[in-house]
Amino acid sequence: MIDLLGPDRLLDGLDAAAGAVIVVDVQRSFADPAHLGGYGLDTEASAALVAAIDRMGVLVDGARALGLPIVWVELASDPAAPWGSSNWLHGGDPLVMSDEEPCIVGTPGADWYGVHPAVGDIRVRKSRYSGFLGTELDGLLRAAGVSWVAVAGLTTECCVASTANDAMQLGYPVLLPTDAAAAYEVRLHENAVEQLALSVAKPTTVDALLAAVASQRVAVVGA
């Protein structure tokens, strides 16, 4: 059982105003029940997914109200450049992208689902698990003065974990609002949170994260 950190001391050593929220892969291929038949979600996992998307909305709205940048990382699968190793791992032809591939550019599966970018938000397209690998994400964050990140989205054990791990190794302290992430098995989500808490991210909740940012910013204004 992982202890989720509350707002007290959650941002110790960090500047609340220098954070950003990264939302990973909340797209139809990964979030819309109409696209998830092949993943075999049970009732508990389905409910957890719906709840997590709702909490992502609360996180995005709250962070935006507090002045934090929102970064949307989206998978953009390109049939002209198939990810051979991934296709092979999942039983496909390493040289050909199947029509079943998630988030193919220009298809409904690539659309956002439940939460959506707003004008002025940062958007980054990726072709691998991590939002940092082969993208401009690191440069965009540094240009925006971001020094720590909160990573949310889908799925906890895959693209959320990969993005959080790379963020940490690039020097960004990482917070993981665990109620704003989900996997297709509750067990996988819980295991991923436990592993990330060991060496990558501080696990918390959406409410605790927003409260910590708000509290520090009020303290600075009142100083």
Q: How far is CA 70 from CA 1, 21, 30, 39, 59, in A?
A: 30, 5, 20, 28, 10
126 is catalytic: yes
Candidate list 3, 8, 12, 25, residue with the active-site label: 25
The percent of the chain in helix, strand and coil, each rounded to the nearest 5, is 45, 15, 40
DSSP-derived letter for residue 16 is G
For the question of residue 25 being annotated catalytic, the response is yes
* Choice among 61, 99, 103, 159 that is catalytic: 159
> How far is residue 139's CA from residue 179's CA, in Å, rounded to a whole number?
28
Instruction: Choose the catalytic residue: 103, 126, 158, 166.
Output: 126
Start-to-end Cα distance in the chain: 38
Q: Catalytic positions, please?
A: 25, 126, 159
